[in-house]
Structure 1
Amino acid sequence: MSHKCHEEEAKASIGVVRFSIYVVSTSRYEAIRKGENVEDVSGELATQIIKSAGFEVVSKEIIPDSREAIIQALKKASTAGADIILFIGGTGITWDDVTVETLELMFDKRIEGFGELFRFLSYQEIGPAAMISRATAGTYKHSAVFAIPGSPSAVELALKKLITPEAKHIVYLSRRSAPHTP
């Protein structure tokens, strides 16, 4: 079946697309635990873009940048029926950025083109610094999963140019994939 046929079938067969958003930031997570008010610019921006594209945000949470927290969030969102699980942040190249490595171990299938296109589009905006922009995507059970950098410009680029335009098609395909339990 061609891409166009998949897209048409997806638009017709997929109802509301449900997103779960996780902002990966140990410092913000710890501040919340201390009862401090935390500004979540990227998480709020993601929510706004997703809703304005006609999709639903079923949960949004700030979690620490730890393998355990990321895996727990992934499993929780998938079990709750999220169609797309979005992780924002923790994608850098420092030792404590573990989002990409953690998620890639959990994927049933990787969506290679997402990271490639994200870096290509980032290069057009920020030049050679795009080479250290780590973004990844894949499927986990019935859900599509995306991990993107935490800057507002990265959130806007990923959601407006890549994720929301293809959301129904991606959900259609990920629901057809065979699940596994790692």
Structure 2
Amino acid sequence: MKKEFKHGEMMKSESMEIHKKKAPKSVKAAVLTLSDSKYQDMQNSKDTDLSGRLIVDSIKEKNEVVHYKVIPDDADLLVPSIEEMIMEHGAEVIITTGGTGIGPRDITIETLEPLFEKELRGFGEIFRYESYKELGTGVIMSRATAGIYKNTVIVSMPGSPNAVKTGLKIVVPELGHLVKHLKE
């Protein structure tokens, strides 16, 4: 049985709405920026990480940010940073920004996908669809993705602030819902 809920032009199922109502109102989230230049700026006491700050500010509206970190595009630092966020800070959700393009230093996807116990393909698909409506065919270079690792949702977005805004519109409303399903 479907009940109509208006959300733009989209209809939602009644069972999904019931699930969402039972979801935690707040989750523990961590934010990880991968960027050689942002990392260098942080080392020089300059905070130029606009994308990371957008994520932190968006999460803080209804959730708890348990950790925020900026690292260079380095696979040897990415996995230990993810482990730290899960094991030491209790992150239920980790949102990364940067390193998702096709350049030689873009290592986020290659590093994280092998860790995923389950991939959440819907995030990348919706992200690319929404980005396509704004940017056109250049969006084929986006490799944004999401998955589950050690009972933690990991969402990887590009590093541009506009891409982050698009990704946050998709994922933030679902954070509690995602965490609820992981704990069932």
User: Normalising to structure 2: TM-score of the pair?
Assistant: 0.86
2: CA distance between counterparts of 1:146 and 1:56? 16
* Residue matched to 1:117: 126
The aligned residue for residue 158 of structure 1 is 167
C-alpha change, 1:7 and 1:78, in structure 2 (3 Å) is farther
Q: Distance in 2 between matches of 1:5 and 1:68?
A: 42
Number of equivalences = 172
1:100 paired to 2:114 = no
Which consecutive unaligned segments of at least 5 residues does structure 2 have?
3-12
Q: Deviations over 1:51-82 (max 9, x none)?
A: 22x11111111011111111011111111211
Identity of aligned residues (%): 37
Supply the distance in 1 between the matched residues of 2:152 and 2:58 (Cα, whole angstroms): 19
CA drift at 1:141: 1.1
Match of 1:68 among 76, 82, 85: 76
Closer, same or farther: CA 7–58 of 1 in aligned 2, 3 Å: farther
CA-based RMSD: 1.8
Note if contact 1:31-1:37 (Cα within 8 Å) is conserved in structure 2. yes
Classify 1:36/1:8 alpha carbon distance in 2 versus 1 (closer, same or farther; 3 Å).
Answer: same
Write the distance in 1 (CA, Å) between the matches of 2:127 and 2:35: 21
Mark the CA change 1:85 to 1:7 in structure 2 (over 3 Å): closer, same or farther: farther
Larger Rg: 2
Residue 172 of structure 1 corresponds to 180
Give the distance between the partners of 2:63 and 2:120, measured in 1 at CA.
21
- Segments of 5+ residues of structure 1 without an aligned counterpart are 177-182
8 Å CA contact 1:7–1:168 kept in 2: the answer is: no
Matched, 1:127 2:142: no
Judged with a 3 Å threshold, the aligned counterparts in structure 2 of structure 1 residues 94 and 68 are, in CA distance, closer, same or farther, namely same
